[in-house]
């Protein structure tokens, strides 16, 4: 198995081969945090705390134009992507989230706006010793094309997963052969990681599904909510959006755009009907829905929870009511 230095990977990312892709990598921002961006905009930083941005937003952005049309209703030709995306930086949890929303956007009705960006994208996961202070991230081993696994300072195993990943890995120059013992030790460390948060989530899911959580609990949680919507806007598996039309000028002629914009169940108008009736008009109902949706309703619909414990809602919430925090509180109060 081959190991590559950070510089060798950077050289590859700057190569003519990668020039055929729209490259996105973790870069250092001016405040020292990281985000997915372009190499021209910042230093490549593969090691650090969890990137707060919603990684799936590259395929389902906060707002986007679905199509343009004339006043007579004629749909205008839509521009195609110049290059497929090549995205580096998904954690194992992010990759699970991506796999789920791929299924979500293809079930019953295939969302062509989403898949126009997603279909040919190359996804590169990161794991191993890529956390700050030598923190260890779980190895995914799936749901991506290539996985970069850090096993020493500035040293990464390049592990192709998909057929396309194997093809791309063959173009990476350099590298050093490392015996399999090092990789096997990393895999064992990953397999032995304890996930106490998952245990709590499973217990909370059971309590909610068995209707053992009273409305008073959700009211106490909603009283702390300030409706900033950070929890839903950063969650990689939140997919709700609203649709609206707007007038725009195109070649001096009047035309229109159909747009969609990310929505949040924490907003009071989330389910308001044209009549004015709102089945989720009370804040505690919306707060309950946010948690119930991930750990109970989706268990019945999809067969599994759709919170993958990426932790973004807990990191972003100024009131301490991210999913992990709420589930922990729920289990402490109503668990046996």
pLDDT, averaged per 10 consecutive residues of the chain (336 residues), comes to 94 94 94 91 92 89 90 83 93 96 94 93 97 93 97 94 96 91 94 93 96 95 93 92 84 80 90 88 90 95 95 94 96 90
* Two tokens, residue 248: 């725009």
Q: Give the per-residue SS3 of the chain.
A: CEEEEHHHHHHHHCCCCHHHCEEEEEEECCCCCEEEECHHHCCECCCCCCCCCCHHHHCCCCEEEEEEEECCCCECCCCCCCCCEEEEEECHHHHHHHHHHHHHCCCCCCCHHHHHHHCCCEEEEEEECCCHHHCCECCCCCCCCEEEEEEECCEEEEEECCHHHHHHHCCCCCCEECCHHHHHHHHHHHHCCCCHHHHHHHHHHHHHHCCCCCHHHHHHHHCCCCCCCHHHHHCCCCCCEEEEEEEEEECCEEEEEEEEEECCCCCCCCCCCCCCCCCCCCHHHHHHHHHHHHHHHHHHHHCCCCCCCCCHHHHHCCCCCCHHHHHHHHHHHHCC
Model pLDDT, residue 319: 94
The model's pTM: 0.92
What are the φ and ψ backbone dihedral angles of 100, each rounded to 5 degrees?
-70, -50
Distances (CA, A) of 252 to 77, 212, 249, 257: 17, 61, 6, 15
Q: Which residues pair with 127 in a beta bridge?
A: 149
**Domain edges within the chain:** 2-60+81-193, 197-240+264-334
Q: Which pair of tokens denotes residue 128?
A: 């191993």
How much is the pLDDT for 72?
83
For residue 152, the model assigns a pLDDT of 92
């Amino acid at each position: 198995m081959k190991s590559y230095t950070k510089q060798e990977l950077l050289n590859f990312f700057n190569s003519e081969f990668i020039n055929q892709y729209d490259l996105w990598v973790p870069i250092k921002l001016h405040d020292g945090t990281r985000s997915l961006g372009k190499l021209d905009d910042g230093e490549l930083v593969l090691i650090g705390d969890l990137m707060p941005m919603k990684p799936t937003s590259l395929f389902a952005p906060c707002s986007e134009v679905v199509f343009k049309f004339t006043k007579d209703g004629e749909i205008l030709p839509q521009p195609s992507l110049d290059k497929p995306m090549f995205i580096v930086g998904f954690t194992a949890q992010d990759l699970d989230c991506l796999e789920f929303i791929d299924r979500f956007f293809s079930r019953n009705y295939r969302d062509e706006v989403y898949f126009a960006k997603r279909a040919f994208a190359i996804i590169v996961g990161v794991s191993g010793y890529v956390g700050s202070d030598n923190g260890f991230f779980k190895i995914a081993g799936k749901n991506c094309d290539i996985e970069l696994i850090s096993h020493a300072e500035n040293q990464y195993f390049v592990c192709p997963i998909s057929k396309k990943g194997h093809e791309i890995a063959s173009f990476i120059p350099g590298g050093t052969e490392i015996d399999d013992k090092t990789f096997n030790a990393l895999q064992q460390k990953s397999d032995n990681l304890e996930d106490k948060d998952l245990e709590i989530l499973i217990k909370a899911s059971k309590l909610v599904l068995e209707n053992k959580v009273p409305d008073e609990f959700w009211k106490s949680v909603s009283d702390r909510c300030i409706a900033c919507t950070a929890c839903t806007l950063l969650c990689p598996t939140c997919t709700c959006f609203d649709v609206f039309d707007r007038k725009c000028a195109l070649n001096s002629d009047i035309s229109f755009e159909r747009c969609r914009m990310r929505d949040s169940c924490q907003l009071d108008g989330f389910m308001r009907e044209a009549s004015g009736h709102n089945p989720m008009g009370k804040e505690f109902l919306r707060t309950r829905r946010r948690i119930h949706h991930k750990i109970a309703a989706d268990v019945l619909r999809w067969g599994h929870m759709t919170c993958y414990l990426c932790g973004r809602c807990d990191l972003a919430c100024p009131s301490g009511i991210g999913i992990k925090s709420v589930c922990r509180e729920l289990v402490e109060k109503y668990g046996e």
